[in-house]
Amino acid sequence: MQYVTPTSLLTKNESHRLEKLRDYHILDTHSEDTFDKIALMVTQVFNCPSAFISFIDEDRIFIKSNLSQMTFNEAKRKDSLSSLAILQDDVLVFNDTMNVPEILDNPYVLGGNGVRFFAAVPLKTPEGYNVGTISVIDSRPREVTPLQIDMMKTLSKIVIDKLENRLRYRKTIESQIDLMNIALHEIKNPLASIKLANEIITKDGTKIPNMTEMIKSSVGRIQAKLSDLLKQSEMEETQIVLSIEEIDLKELFTRLQNSFDLLAARKNQSIIFELPDNPPPFFADRAKISDILHNLLSNAIKYSYHGATIMVMAAEVNGNIQIRVKDNGQGLDENDVDRLFTKFAKLSSKPTGKETSNGLGLSITKSFVELHNGTIEAISPGKDQGTSFIVTLPLRYEKEPSLSEFSS
């Protein structure tokens, strides 16, 4: 069967393929015994002098394992025969390259001691992306057997299993780090309330009953948050599970007012809460919704000027509950909007009362909103013209069906 030269070296899912390849963090790494042993097995199976484990980047191939006389570990993608192998799902075999006119001008085929025999199997990810190859070459023609092909395919699966295990491990570590960062961020507000209540008690003993209740509430929030995070860290894949219950907006806003009035008063700011006469009940995770609004209101206080007015409004819109936190503070520019919900984002706005910020709050807030199948957006006319954060949530949370539920 005659080989047909491809019109392009790009795969059908090139951008996703490259994204997955980079997720593996395998490019430009040192040689490793595990991969070298697999390449060695390939040379033994085919009784050939040279074998490679290569990964195909955007315009080059990176050779992770090189069992040959070649001294380089990188080549141009357009010159590599492995670049042809990732364009198909099966093994690519050239028993004798001299009989394949379409590749006779390849720089690795040209010459008296060039590649005469080539066989390669794609390294296919679980998603179906061919990120690289296991290949074997010789300077003389060869025939291959079905057993050799099957062995090569088996070894390619071992390579992918190794990469997937590393990826899972790395993501587990990253998840644990994220959980610690979330814990540190989420206990900042209740700790600030406790500190403020202590200062007030020290100055005015008549405020002890009110401040005692605030301290009790803040300690409860810290304990609940740490308990929640510990449970998450013990769960497989650290998947967050929502505890859905009916939420009374009036009660929720009252708790917010009690928590933030004192913090706002320190900067001579005022917070105005607006609700419809008969706010609709909605169903969500009370702790997560509270965290969302605590983060948004804390930011509004932190980045608004002294004497500012902050509005917190809720309304039913098209069968959803929409909550808007609006300030007349420093506002956002175009660059801020692009980075707003990313982790550790550094924005142009600065805290106006010597508060600290680690850039995690809005990233966490967005993830909590999306867990509820909701949306969050930020609107700002420009710098020093204020910002509105709009959270839209379904009145009743419904879990999206899993693949297993579809198949059952």
Q: What angle do CA 327, 339, 167 make, to 5 degrees?
A: 135
* Alpha helices in 66-207, H assignment, sequence order: 82-85, 146-186, 188-203
- First-to-last alpha carbon distance for the chain, in angstroms, is 44
Amino acid 255: pLDDT: 85
Residues 22 and 44 both lie in one domain: yes
Residues 268 and 356 both lie in one domain: yes
Amino acid 231: pLDDT: 60
Here the tokens at position 305 are 């000027």
What are the backbone angles phi and psi of residue 304, rounded to the nearest 5°? -90, 155
Long-range contacts of 224-231 (CB under 8 A, 24+ apart): 224/287, 225/183, 225/186, 225/187, 225/287, 225/291, 226/183, 226/187, 228/287, 229/179, 229/182, 229/183
Residue 5 counted as domain residue? no
* Alpha helices in 204-248, H assignment, sequence order: 208-234
Q: Which of 212, 241, 270 is the last residue of a domain?
A: 241
Residues 371 and 305 both lie in one domain: yes
CB of 374 within 8 A of CB of 396?
no
CA-CA distance, 315 to 10, in Å (whole number)?
A: 50
Residues 209 and 286 both lie in one domain: no
CA-CA distance, 106 to 55, in Å (whole number)?
A: 19
Amino acid 158: pLDDT: 93
The candidate with the shortest Cα–Cα distance to 55, out of 46, 66, 44, is 66
Q: Provide the residue type at 266 as one letter.
A: R
Q: Which of 241, 257, 281 is the last residue of a domain?
A: 241
Residue 3 counted as domain residue? no
Name the DSSP class of 396. Answer: B
Residues 254 and 136 both lie in one domain: no
Amino acid 220: pLDDT: 72
Amino acid 176: pLDDT: 63
Longest dimension (CA), the chain: 97
Amino acid 402: pLDDT: 40
CB of 127 within 8 A of CB of 28?
no
What are the backbone angles phi and psi of residue 356, rounded to the nearest 5°? -105, 160
Here the tokens at position 201 are 């008690």
Residue 181 counted as domain residue? no
Residues 123 and 208 both lie in one domain: no
Here the tokens at position 392 are 């839209």
Amino acid 62: pLDDT: 95
Amino acid 236: pLDDT: 42
Q: What angle do CA 230, 234, 240 make, to 5 degrees?
A: 75
CB of 314 within 8 A of CB of 276?
yes
Residues 266 and 395 both lie in one domain: yes
CA-CA distance, 388 to 395, in Å (whole number)?
A: 21
Residues 126 and 200 both lie in one domain: no
- The owner of tokens 């794609």 is 122
Amino acid 407: pLDDT: 37
Amino acid 215: pLDDT: 78
3-state secondary structure at position 22: helix
Domain that holds residue 81: 14-168
Residues 258 and 397 both lie in one domain: yes
User: For the chain, what is the domain count?
Assistant: 3
3-state secondary structure at position 319: coil
Residues 226 and 282 both lie in one domain: no
Name the DSSP class of 140. Answer: S
Residues 210 and 105 both lie in one domain: no
The one-digit pLDDT tens for each residue of the chain (408 residues) are 566 678 788 888 899 999 999 999 999 998 888 899 999 999 999 999 999 999 999 999 999 999 988 888 999 999 999 999 999 888 999 999 999 888 888 888 986 688 999 999 999 998 899 999 999 999 999 999 999 999 999 999 999 999 998 887 777 666 666 666 666 666 766 777 777 777 777 777 777 777 777 777 777 777 676 666 656 555 544 455 678 899 999 999 988 888 788 788 888 999 999 998 888 888 998 888 988 998 899 889 988 999 999 999 999 998 899 999 999 888 888 777 777 877 666 676 788 877 666 556 787 788 888 888 889 999 998 888 889 999 999 988 776 444 334 333
Here the tokens at position 117 are 């025999």
